[in-house]
């Protein structure tokens, strides 16, 4: 089976790799080399765009010493769109056989659609992935990993799932909802035991219905992909899926894609005409 395109890839232009002036410089080129080596035909560089800062605990901050952490808040680096598009153009010239698409992973679009044009022209992008990384917390926002330290775990999960329909209803700038299980990444296994999706089934299904009714695709994020996600998405009327490794490092590109493609196929999703197209089911 041919691998689907990787629709969720980060390079040095994402703040959580360090940015284009850090040791991550050149990662976009290395990622394209990797794509060519593994026979991937298409990839979309979806760099983080997060317009607002959020509350964080020092323990949750990558590296602890980052200048992005100041006085209890995390301030993500601004996306450098001009340099990003230049790098995309260079890679297209260097890898003519690879389909290299431009995109962003836009965090909390429902909070900043009125300001995003100051950072990037969305119409210049091939793909906008919408992601939910922060939730309401103490009249402000915080990531689930911080909130799990201060609130009952189930409350954080429900807050995450209940925010999704609000994000869907209040933004028109994104076409794919990414990593619906984002909060599960920081689920407190030590105190709660392994995460059981059945405990939150109604919340996941409700969120999926909202995404499906809006006509958007659901990303199958292969950092962790349970069969339940694919099954419930199909049962709730989902018509399209994309495949995203969420790689921040070239070696993670298209990780788990053969298994994810088989899962999608098993509930009726079929490839489109181009490798970057979402897979559809009737
Ligand atoms: Zn994300
Ligand atoms: Zn990502």
User: Tens digits of per-residue pLDDT, 209-242?
Assistant: 999 999 999 999 999 999 999 999 999 999 999 9
Q: Mean of the per-residue pLDDT values for the chain?
A: 96
- Answer for the pair 43, 31: CB distance below 8 angstroms, yes or no: yes
- The C-alpha atoms of residue 269 and residue 277 are separated, in whole angstroms, by 12
Can you list the domains of the chain with their CATH numbers? Answer: 6-280 (3.20.20.140)
User: Tens digits of per-residue pLDDT, 32-86?
Assistant: 999 999 999 999 999 999 999 999 987 777 655 678 888 889 999 999 999 999 9
HEC assignment per residue over 189-245: HHHHCCCCHHHHHHHHHHHHHHHHHCCCEEEEECCCCCHHHHHHHHHCCCCEEEEEC
- Answer for the pair 104, 176: CB distance below 8 angstroms, yes or no: no
Place of tokens 């490092």: 249
Tell me how far the alpha carbon of residue 129 lies from the centroid of ligand 1, in angstroms: 9
Q: CA dist 108 to 97, 135, 148, Å? A: 34, 9, 19
Tell me how far the alpha carbon of residue 179 lies from the centroid of ligand 1, in angstroms: 7
- Tell me the average pLDDT across 114-130: 98
262 burial type by CB count under 10 A (0-12 exposed, 13-18 middle, 19+ buried) = exposed
Sign of torsion, CA 240 232 10 110? positive
- The C-alpha atoms of residue 178 and residue 246 are separated, in whole angstroms, by 9
- Tell me the average pLDDT across 5-14: 98
Tell me how far the alpha carbon of residue 43 lies from the centroid of ligand 2, in angstroms: 13
Tell me how far the alpha carbon of residue 37 lies from the centroid of ligand 1, in angstroms: 26
Tell me how far the alpha carbon of residue 107 lies from the centroid of ligand 1, in angstroms: 7
């Amino acid at each position: 089976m041919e691998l689907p395109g990787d629709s969720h890839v980060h390079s040095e232009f994402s703040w959580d790799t360090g940015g284009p002036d850090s040791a991550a410089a050149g990662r976009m080129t290395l990622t394209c080399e990797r794509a060519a080596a593994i026979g991937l035909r298409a990839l979309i560089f979806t760099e983080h765009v997060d317009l607002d800062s959020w509350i964080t605990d020092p323990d949750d901050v990558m590296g602890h010493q980052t200048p992005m952490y100041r006085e209890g808040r995390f301030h993500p680096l601004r996306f450098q769109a001009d340099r990003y598009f230049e790098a995309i153009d260079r890679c297209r010239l260097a890898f003519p056989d690879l389909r290299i698409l431009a995109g962003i992973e836009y965090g909390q679009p429902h909070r900043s659609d009125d300001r995003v044009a100051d950072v990037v022209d969305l119409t210049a992008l091939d793909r906008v992935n919408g992601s939910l990384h922060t939730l309401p917390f103490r009249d402000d926002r915080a990531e689930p990993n911080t909130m799990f330290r201060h609130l009952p775990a189930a409350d954080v999960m429900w807050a995450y799932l209940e925010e999704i329909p609000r994000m869907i209803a209040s933004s028109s700038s994104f076409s794919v909802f990414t990593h619906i299980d984002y909060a599960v990444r920081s689920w407190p296994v030590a105190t709660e035991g392994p995460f059981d999706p059945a405990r939150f089934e109604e919340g996941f299904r409700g969120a999926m219905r909202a995404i499906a009714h809006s006509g958007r695709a659901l990303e199958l994020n292969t950092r962790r992909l349970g069969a339940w996600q694919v099954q419930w998405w199909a049962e709730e009327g989902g018509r399209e899926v994309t495949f995203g490794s969420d790689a921040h490092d070239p070696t993670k590109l298209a990780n788990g894609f053969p298994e994810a493609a088989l899962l999608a196929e098993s509930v009726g999703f079929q490839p489109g005409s181009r490798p970057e197209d979402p897979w559809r089911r009737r």
